[in-house]
A and B are shown apart, each in its own frame.
Chain A
């Protein structure tokens, strides 16, 4: 029930931002429309979730966003430097790394973060065996290590595990 109300609030927020500045008429229309849309999309978006997760995970999510934005900025400066360098210093590779995340939303966030951070793009996810295939722009020596992990990915994974699982 709580997640259904959360979905309604999310659609209502999107509506409000679209029809800014808020008026009474846009409030009423928005409530009706987002009630209808959340009723229609509920079965797709709401899945059974494990209960008993601590509310601390919202704090971890905020921490994750800060870390993510910082890594994203570093990644962009790194790629920009490689683009501008006259010798084009790249060592591309597609590698397989291991992940411990199981839930769909956790994997989605991890894959999206990988795509937006240092020289890596997710190509494919093998959910059964827990592998992610990524394309790396500059493969460092000794990466991935014997455990098939990359430092940056493990960093995201540790936080996402606290948030979604």
Chain B
């Protein structure tokens, strides 16, 4: 039973990872691409790790998967934020479709 749920979670995680990478190709600029990678890849990888935990149970591998899950949840958003801020500060402009750009106004004052 646990193995079935584990494998289906791994498959769902793989689908989300794939969609995140597809977003990386399809979206127009740095910031929207970061959105796709930060969200889909985080949930996808967490899904894979949790599936691995269900698959392996409370063994050495399973516990390490849980630990990795916690660290990914804590660090992935931080890295996405730092990449977005660094890109903006070094002059990468948002794409033409951007409706409002209040951050640009605030740092150009």
Contacts and interface: CB of A to CB of B under 8 A. Distances in A.
Interface of A: 14, 17-18, 20-21, 72-73, 75-76, 79-80, 82-84, 88, 90-96, 111-113, 115-116, 119-124, 126, 133, 135, 137, 139
A3 B81 CA distance: 28
B37 to A, nearest CB: 10
Contact of A124 (B59, B60, B85, B101): B85
B81 A121 contact: yes
Given A76-B40, A76-B43, A121-B38, A84 B19 contact: yes
B77 A111 contact: yes
10 tightest A-B CB contacts, nearest first:
A115-B77, A94-B103, A20-B63, A83-B23, A93-B100, A112-B77, A133-B103, A93-B99, A96-B102, A80-B19
Contacts, number: 132
B42 to A, nearest CB: 6
B94 to A, nearest CB: 6
A135 B102 contact: no
B95 A92 contact: yes
Nearest to A20: B63
A92 B103 contact: no
A32 B21 CA distance: 43
B11 to A, nearest CB: 14
Contact of B36 (A79, A93, A96, A124): A79
B77 A116 contact: yes
